[in-house]
């Protein structure tokens, strides 16, 4: 378990705790190996364009292999990927943050516009959608689920907010992310990031949300005009 105290100063997905990498391979897939060796057993095969997370304490820029972690929603331990198949997200074309507020965020540039809408959640009106785990000493519930999904970014019962829509406009085409891809992502940051892998026609929207023990990283992947999926992890 990584040091939970590090979360206090968690900012974005490239911090002193680790960073997100995109997988790049002309063959369309990348092998994850049990150890950093070409002859080591293959523990998983991931698609080019997928994401992995590398903790800074595990990252060695001079090494040929990196010890990577998968999305927490993907079953299975991490493994090793060759450096030549990893690219830091921040090195792709950046889509600048144009507007930020607690209810509306816009990133725009290079023919691409991302709009993210956020609203507060009235717990009393929506408590049937939440799955409580236990009651704390002050009588509040520790919430672990929302609409039969894990509830990300919740630590105890307090003021909540979540995304209500994420829309991408790309060269005139509109892409709406499915509600299931963001509705259980609570306490969003107002400073998300977005990059465009122009060579592979892939957009990555990523951010650090929540705080304290509820902190998490989430990234959405859009290839062409299609939503591919999300990566989510707790960086500790």
Q: Give the residues across from 51 on adjacent strands.
A: 22
Out of 91, 123, 152, a domain closes at 91
Do the beta carbons of residue 51 and residue 218 sit within 8 Å?
A: no
Instruction: Mark whether 169 and 213 lie in a shared domain.
Output: yes
Instruction: Mark whether 187 and 225 lie in a shared domain.
Output: yes
What pLDDT sits at residue 59?
Answer: 86
Report the phi/psi class of residue 172: left, alpha or beta, with left for phi > 0 and alpha for psi in -120 to 50. Answer: left
Tally of residues, the chain: 236
Q: Which residue has the tokens 């997928």?
A: 50
How many beta carbons lie within 10 A of that of residue 235, not counting itself?
21
Instruction: Mark whether 110 and 224 lie in a shared domain.
Output: yes
Instruction: Mark whether 13 and 68 lie in a shared domain.
Output: yes
Q: Identify the three-state secondary structure at position 1.
A: coil
DSSP code for 83: G
State the Cα angle at 90 between 89 and 93, rounded to 5°: 95
Helix (H) or strand (E) holding 49: none
Q: What is this structure's pTM?
A: 0.88
Instruction: Mark whether 191 and 165 lie in a shared domain.
Output: yes
Instruction: Mark whether 43 and 148 lie in a shared domain.
Output: no
Out of 91, 118, 146, a domain closes at 91
Instruction: Mark whether 221 and 137 lie in a shared domain.
Output: yes
Q: Which of 207, 233, 203, 162 is nearest to 12 (CA)?
A: 207
Instruction: Mark whether 59 and 15 lie in a shared domain.
Output: yes
Q: Which residue has the tokens 């540039």?
A: 109
Instruction: Mark whether 82 and 105 lie in a shared domain.
Output: no
Give the separation between CA 25 and CA 200, rounded to whole angstroms. 10
Give the separation between CA 59 and CA 75, rounded to whole angstroms. 22
- The structure tokens listed for 234 are 């707790």
Give the separation between CA 203 and CA 173, rounded to whole angstroms. 14
Report the CATH number at residue 35: 2.30.30.40
- The structure tokens listed for 137 are 């000493």
Out of 40, 66, 91, a domain closes at 91
- The structure tokens listed for 11 are 């900012």
Q: Which of 27, 55, 30, 65 is nearest to 44 (CA)?
A: 30
Tens place of pLDDT per residue across the chain (236 aa)? 343 333 333 333 444 478 999 999 999 999 999 999 999 999 999 999 999 999 988 888 889 999 999 999 887 789 999 999 999 999 999 999 999 999 999 999 999 999 999 999 988 888 889 887 655 566 655 668 888 888 899 875 567 899 999 999 999 999 999 999 999 999 999 999 999 999 999 999 999 998 877 899 999 999 999 999 999 998 87
Instruction: Mark whether 190 and 201 lie in a shared domain.
Output: yes
* Total structural domains within the chain: 2
Q: Give the residues across from 109 on adjacent strands.
A: 112
Instruction: Mark whether 151 and 120 lie in a shared domain.
Output: yes
Domain span holding position 205: 93-233
Q: Which residue has the tokens 């939440």?
A: 130
Q: Which residue has the tokens 């997200």?
A: 89
Instruction: Mark whether 228 and 112 lie in a shared domain.
Output: yes
What pLDDT sits at residue 22?
Answer: 98
């Amino acid at each position: 378990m990584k040091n939970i105290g590090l979360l206090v100063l968690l900012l974005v997905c490239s911090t002193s705790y680790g960073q997100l990498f995109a997988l790049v391979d002309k063959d369309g897939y990348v092998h994850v190996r049990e150890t950093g060796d070409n002859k080591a057993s293959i523990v998983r095969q991931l698609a080019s364009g997928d994401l992995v997370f590398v903790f800074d304490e595990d990252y060695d820029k001079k090494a040929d292999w990196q010890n990577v972690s998968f999305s927490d929603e993907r079953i299975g331990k991490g493994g090793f990927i060759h450096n030549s198949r990893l690219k830091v997200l921040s090195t792709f074309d950046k889509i600048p943050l144009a507007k930020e507020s607690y209810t509306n965020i816009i990133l725009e540039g290079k023919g691409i516009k991302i709009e993210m809408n956020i609203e507060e959640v009235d717990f009393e009106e929506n408590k049937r959608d939440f799955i409580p785990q236990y009651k704390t000493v002050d009588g509040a519930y520790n919430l672990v689920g929302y609409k039969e999904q894990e509830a990300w970014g919740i630590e105890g019962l307090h003021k909540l907010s979540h995304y209500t829509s994420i829309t991408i406009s790309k060269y005139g085409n509109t892409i709406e992310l499915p509600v299931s891809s963001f509705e259980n992502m609570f306490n969003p940051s107002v400073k998300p990031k977005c990059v465009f892998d122009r060579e592979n026609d892939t957009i990555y929207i990523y951010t650090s949300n929540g705080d304290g023990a509820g902190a998490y990283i989430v990234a959405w992947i859009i290839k062409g005009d299609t939503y591919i999926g999300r990566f989510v992890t707790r960086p500790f």
